[in-house]
A and B are shown apart, each in its own frame.
Chain A
Amino acid sequence: MKTKLRIAGLLTAFSFIIYGLMRGEASVVLNKAVNICLECIGLG
């Protein structure tokens, strides 16, 4: 049972990652991460 859950979990994870990459989520992450995050440092 646990093995099936692990396989299902990993398959779901990779599907999510590929779908997220295809619709351009990585660029949103990059855009946020390469600019100083004012919220993170307590100014935003």
Chain B
Amino acid sequence: MKITYAIKRKLLQFIAFGCSNAHLLNFKGGKIYTGKWKQFCNPGLNCYSCPAAGFACPIGALQAVNGSRQFSFSFYVAGLLLAFGVLLGRAVCGWLCPFGLLQELIHKIPSPKRKLKKGFLYIKYVVLVVFVLILPVAATDYMGMGKPAFCQYICPAGTLEGGLFLLAAHESLRKAVGALFSLKMAILVLTLAGCVFFYRFFCRTLCPLGAIYGLFNKISIFRLEVDRHKCVGCGKCKEVCGMEVDPVKTPDSAECIRCGACADVCPTGSVCIGFSTQRKKV
């Protein structure tokens, strides 16, 4: 049996999901992990208020440091994101992100599958700039502290992984539920419904982490390459791509999550992904 990229990727996605969320016993008491490992960031989106989470969410951490009294920019988190980006680009989304895996599993629910209009792809850049970079620094309280606006108003991963489990376990938290929670629940429901019909709906429309990693796809060491001498132009790669990328025309597209579906389906083996591929000059 040929071990395809699809098999390798699914295996690694589940391993990454398990490593990111190893503290399963915390679900029982509605606690969260409080050990030293939480000063390190997960490469993918995974809420640090999820009871099982073992690492910090990079987007939450970025906002927390940028909005803190001591600092207005996080070199630590920006450095981590830069390192992950240069090494892997959006392969982080495709191979390591726990919320990405959840979206893919939801997309397996039988339903008519739709294509996303291109304009929706730009929303995530607005979300990144406004909610992650500007608001936590600009909208501060009297003590000079900003709030993590993306987590507060948008992040469906926090509502799903943290909110629902913690609210189920703590009556005191349930009493504090208000309009903000309703807004976040509405975004979560819309996101999950979107994921049923559109492949990785959240990644493509709202995820600021995907927006950051996408910027590195042009230079990332883990890359996708097409040997144009071997390509017969059958178009199967474009047809199979869930992210609606044409790997032959734009192998470095910011939307490509390096899933390898195109490489699996290519009849001539002209598409390959990895660290040591060799692009042929046309």
Partner-B contacts on A (CB < 8 A) = 2, 5-6, 9-10, 12-21, 23-30, 32-34, 36-44
Whether the Cβ atoms of B181 and A16 lie closer than 8 Å is: no
In the complex, chain B residues whose CB is within 8 Å of the CB of A25:
65, 71, 74-77
Q: How many A-B residue pairs have CB under 8 A?
A: 153
In the complex, chain A residues whose CB is within 8 Å of the CB of B216:
9
Whether the Cβ atoms of B41 and A36 lie closer than 8 Å is: no
User: What mask results when residues 19 to 33 of chain B are scored 1 for a CB within 8 Å of chain A, else 0?
Assistant: 000000000000011
Whether the Cβ atoms of B76 and A6 lie closer than 8 Å is: no
Whether the Cβ atoms of B152 and A21 lie closer than 8 Å is: no
Whether the Cβ atoms of B61 and A40 lie closer than 8 Å is: no
A17-B83, A33-B56, A36-B49 known; 4 new pairs, CB 8 Å cut-off, are A2-B219, A20-B75, A25-B76, A42-B180
B219 interface neighbour in A9, A13, A24, A30, Cβ under 8 Å = A9
In the complex, chain B residues whose CB is within 8 Å of the CB of A38:
176
Q: What's the Cα separation between A33 and B216 when bound, in Å?
A: 27
Q: What's the Cα separation between A43 and B167 when bound, in Å?
A: 10
Whether the Cβ atoms of B82 and A13 lie closer than 8 Å is: yes
